[in-house]
Amino acid sequence: MAKGLGAFIVGIAELRRVPGHARTVSVAGPLPAIALSDAWVPDEAEVAADLRIEILADGHLTAVGQLRAPWQGRCRRCLQDIEGAFELEVSEVFEPDPSDDAETYPLGADRVDLEPMLRDALLLALPIAPLCRDDCPGPDPDQHPVIAAGDAAVETAADPRWAGLGELTFE
């Protein structure tokens, strides 16, 4: 497995010599800055992919396989920290000169950078509003008490500097 800088760049010169020939590659390393508001892949976490890459007769490259990565987040109801792991299937196409509206990734002459594809797959898989469990009841009332406006606790906890405002009347 490749590690460190350029961990997701794979040489493809030998594949270009024999179109239709496939090769299995394993890549792994950190991919920092993959995050939504309440879920993210930790910056130092290892993202790993086992892929079968193949150059087609038209010069395109296909990458098919599995992607694995841990994720962390906060439950949208109780705000407790949660974590999980992805095991995703990926299947993408790379081409030498993708147009702006193409749904493919760029392909170099003698190498392919898998990082943009892996980033996109992880971002799309992150939960937008994660839950610690399906039946999460929300915040623990003992940890986060809710005080209604008419409660005596609210009246006694009011800042005395604002007491004069309670005597105002509007007609």
- Tell me the per-residue pLDDT of 46-70, one tens digit each, with 9 for 90 and over: 999 999 999 988 889 999 999 999 9
Give the count of domains, the chain: 1
pLDDT value at residue 4 = 40
- Average pLDDT (150-168) is 67
User: What does DSSP assign to residue 62?
Assistant: E
Asked, for residue 51, whether it belongs to a domain, the answer is yes
Asked, for residue 20, whether it belongs to a domain, the answer is yes
Asked, for residue 152, whether it belongs to a domain, the answer is no
Asked, for residue 120, whether it belongs to a domain, the answer is yes
pLDDT value at residue 68 = 97
Among the ranges given (8-17, 60-69, 143-152), the one the predictor scored with the smallest mean pLDDT: 143-152
- Average pLDDT (141-164) is 65
User: pLDDT-based confidence at 35, cuts 50/70/90?
Assistant: very high
Asked, for residue 24, whether it belongs to a domain, the answer is yes
Q: Which structural domain, as residue segments, surrounds residue 24?
A: 9-125
pLDDT value at residue 2 = 42
What are residue 148's DSSP bridge partners? none
- What proportion of the chain, given as a percentage, has pLDDT over 90? 53
The phi, psi pair for 62, rounded to 5°, reads: -110, 145
pTM of the model: 0.74
| Alpha carbons 63 and 142: distance in angstroms, whole number | 51
Asked, for residue 170, whether it belongs to a domain, the answer is no
| Alpha carbons 112 and 3: distance in angstroms, whole number | 16
pLDDT value at residue 156 = 53
Asked, for residue 140, whether it belongs to a domain, the answer is no
Give residue 25's Cα distance to chain centre: 22
Asked, for residue 98, whether it belongs to a domain, the answer is yes
- Give residue 20's region: left, alpha or beta (phi > 0; psi -120 to 50): left
